Amino acid sequence: MIYEIHLYVPKTGKLTPSMLEWLFEHGQSTDQPEAFWPVRKLNPRALARRLLRFDPTLVPVQGPFEDVELHHPDQRLGVVLYVHDRGVIIFFPYMADSIYSRVVLGICYVYIRFLYDLATFWSYDPQLNVLSYADDFQSIEDTAMLMDAIMPKLLPE
Protein backbone atom coordinates (compact mmCIF):
# COMPACT_ATOMS: atom_id res chain seq x y z
CA MET A 1 0.00 0.00 0.00
CA ILE A 2 1.17 3.48 -0.81
CA TYR A 3 0.75 6.48 1.48
CA GLU A 4 0.47 9.94 -0.06
CA ILE A 5 0.67 13.54 1.09
CA HIS A 6 -0.48 16.32 -1.24
CA LEU A 7 1.17 19.76 -1.21
CA TYR A 8 -0.31 22.93 -2.71
CA VAL A 9 0.28 26.69 -2.65
CA PRO A 10 -3.11 28.27 -1.95
CA LYS A 11 -3.76 31.61 -3.67
CA THR A 12 -5.29 33.00 -0.47
CA GLY A 13 -2.41 31.95 1.78
CA LYS A 14 -4.48 29.29 3.54
CA LEU A 15 -5.73 25.93 2.29
CA THR A 16 -9.31 25.09 3.32
CA PRO A 17 -11.47 21.95 3.09
CA SER A 18 -13.68 23.57 0.44
CA MET A 19 -10.60 24.27 -1.71
CA LEU A 20 -9.57 20.63 -1.46
CA GLU A 21 -13.08 19.53 -2.36
CA TRP A 22 -12.92 21.73 -5.48
CA LEU A 23 -9.48 20.33 -6.36
CA PHE A 24 -10.59 16.72 -6.08
CA GLU A 25 -13.70 17.45 -8.15
CA HIS A 26 -12.08 19.61 -10.87
CA GLY A 27 -8.32 18.97 -10.52
CA GLN A 28 -8.07 16.79 -13.63
CA SER A 29 -10.14 19.22 -15.71
CA THR A 30 -8.48 21.37 -18.35
CA ASP A 31 -11.50 23.58 -19.00
CA GLN A 32 -11.54 25.47 -15.68
CA PRO A 33 -10.51 29.15 -15.92
CA GLU A 34 -7.41 30.06 -13.89
CA ALA A 35 -9.48 32.41 -11.71
CA PHE A 36 -11.45 29.41 -10.38
CA TRP A 37 -8.39 27.48 -9.22
CA PRO A 38 -7.81 27.82 -5.46
CA VAL A 39 -4.09 26.97 -5.77
CA ARG A 40 -1.29 28.53 -7.77
CA LYS A 41 -0.17 27.13 -11.10
CA LEU A 42 3.45 25.98 -10.94
CA ASN A 43 6.24 25.20 -13.36
CA PRO A 44 7.00 21.53 -12.51
CA ARG A 45 10.47 21.55 -14.06
CA ALA A 46 11.53 24.73 -12.26
CA LEU A 47 10.24 23.37 -8.94
CA ALA A 48 11.99 20.04 -9.58
CA ARG A 49 15.25 21.95 -10.19
CA ARG A 50 14.83 23.75 -6.85
CA LEU A 51 14.25 20.43 -5.11
CA LEU A 52 17.32 18.98 -6.83
CA ARG A 53 19.42 21.91 -5.60
CA PHE A 54 18.11 21.23 -2.09
CA ASP A 55 18.77 17.48 -2.37
CA PRO A 56 21.04 16.64 -5.30
CA THR A 57 20.80 12.91 -4.51
CA LEU A 58 17.20 12.78 -5.79
CA VAL A 59 16.86 10.91 -9.08
CA PRO A 60 14.70 12.77 -11.65
CA VAL A 61 12.41 10.81 -13.97
CA GLN A 62 10.22 12.40 -16.65
CA GLY A 63 6.54 11.94 -15.86
CA PRO A 64 3.56 12.43 -18.15
CA PHE A 65 3.21 15.83 -19.83
CA GLU A 66 5.47 18.32 -18.00
CA ASP A 67 5.36 16.42 -14.70
CA VAL A 68 8.56 15.26 -12.99
CA GLU A 69 9.12 12.41 -10.55
CA LEU A 70 11.96 12.73 -8.06
CA HIS A 71 12.95 9.39 -6.53
CA HIS A 72 14.84 9.10 -3.27
CA PRO A 73 18.22 7.46 -4.02
CA ASP A 74 17.63 4.63 -1.55
CA GLN A 75 14.97 2.67 -3.43
CA ARG A 76 14.23 0.54 -0.35
CA LEU A 77 12.55 3.60 1.18
CA GLY A 78 10.19 3.98 -1.79
CA VAL A 79 9.93 7.79 -1.45
CA VAL A 80 8.82 9.60 -4.63
CA LEU A 81 8.04 13.29 -5.02
CA TYR A 82 5.63 13.71 -7.94
CA VAL A 83 5.84 17.33 -9.13
CA HIS A 84 2.91 18.52 -11.26
CA ASP A 85 1.55 21.88 -12.41
CA ARG A 86 -0.51 22.46 -9.26
CA GLY A 87 1.67 20.98 -6.54
CA VAL A 88 3.63 18.01 -5.27
CA ILE A 89 2.47 14.58 -4.13
CA ILE A 90 4.84 12.67 -1.87
CA PHE A 91 4.40 8.90 -2.13
CA PHE A 92 5.91 6.34 0.23
CA PRO A 93 4.96 2.82 1.29
CA TYR A 94 3.15 1.87 4.46
CA MET A 95 5.74 0.20 6.67
CA ALA A 96 5.41 -2.46 9.31
CA ASP A 97 8.51 -1.48 11.28
CA SER A 98 7.70 1.45 13.55
CA ILE A 99 11.28 2.76 13.67
CA TYR A 100 11.74 2.39 9.91
CA SER A 101 8.45 4.18 9.22
CA ARG A 102 9.48 7.11 11.42
CA VAL A 103 12.75 7.44 9.48
CA VAL A 104 10.85 7.58 6.19
CA LEU A 105 8.32 10.05 7.63
CA GLY A 106 11.20 12.21 8.84
CA ILE A 107 12.68 12.28 5.34
CA CYS A 108 9.29 13.18 3.83
CA TYR A 109 8.69 15.94 6.35
CA VAL A 110 12.10 17.48 5.56
CA TYR A 111 10.84 17.93 1.98
CA ILE A 112 7.50 19.25 3.26
CA ARG A 113 9.28 21.83 5.43
CA PHE A 114 11.55 22.86 2.55
CA LEU A 115 8.53 23.39 0.27
CA TYR A 116 6.76 25.39 2.97
CA ASP A 117 9.81 27.63 3.42
CA LEU A 118 10.25 27.92 -0.36
CA ALA A 119 6.71 28.95 -1.31
CA THR A 120 4.35 28.35 1.66
CA PHE A 121 3.17 24.96 0.43
CA TRP A 122 0.37 23.55 2.59
CA SER A 123 -0.01 19.81 3.00
CA TYR A 124 -3.05 17.58 2.94
CA ASP A 125 -2.93 14.05 4.27
CA PRO A 126 -5.95 12.24 2.76
CA GLN A 127 -5.45 9.17 4.96
CA LEU A 128 -5.85 11.24 8.14
CA ASN A 129 -7.92 13.99 6.50
CA VAL A 130 -5.56 16.60 7.97
CA LEU A 131 -4.61 19.98 6.52
CA SER A 132 -1.41 21.51 7.84
CA TYR A 133 1.50 23.74 7.01
CA ALA A 134 5.26 23.49 7.59
CA ASP A 135 6.38 20.65 9.85
CA ASP A 136 3.37 19.71 11.88
CA PHE A 137 4.96 17.24 14.30
CA GLN A 138 1.56 16.00 15.45
CA SER A 139 0.80 14.93 11.88
CA ILE A 140 4.08 12.98 11.76
CA GLU A 141 3.14 11.13 14.94
CA ASP A 142 -0.46 10.55 13.78
CA THR A 143 0.81 9.14 10.46
CA ALA A 144 3.25 6.84 12.26
CA MET A 145 0.48 5.63 14.61
CA LEU A 146 -1.82 4.97 11.61
CA MET A 147 0.89 2.89 9.95
CA ASP A 148 1.50 1.00 13.20
CA ALA A 149 -2.23 0.25 13.48
CA ILE A 150 -2.85 -0.75 9.86
CA MET A 151 0.25 -2.69 8.87
CA PRO A 152 -0.13 -5.65 11.25
CA LYS A 153 -3.62 -6.24 9.80
CA LEU A 154 -2.23 -6.32 6.26
CA LEU A 155 0.65 -8.69 6.90
CA PRO A 156 0.09 -12.45 6.59
CA GLU A 157 0.21 -14.44 9.82
**Ordered structural domains, the chain, with CATH:** 2-154 (3.30.310)
Q: Which residues of 26-39 are buried (b: 16+ CB within 10 A; e: fewer)?
A: ebeeeeeeeeebbb
Task: Report residue 91's pLDDT band, with 50, 70 and 90 as the boundaries.
Answer: very high
**Residue 55 scores a pLDDT above 80:** yes
- Whether residue 136 is predicted with pLDDT greater than 60 in this model: the reply is no
pLDDT for 135: 55
Query: Mean pLDDT lowest for which of 67-81, 90-104, 113-127?
Result: 90-104
**Which is higher by pLDDT, 100 or 150?**
100
Q: What is the pTM of this model?
A: 0.86
Please say whether the beta carbons of 109 and 140 come within 8 A: yes
pLDDT at 94 over 90: no
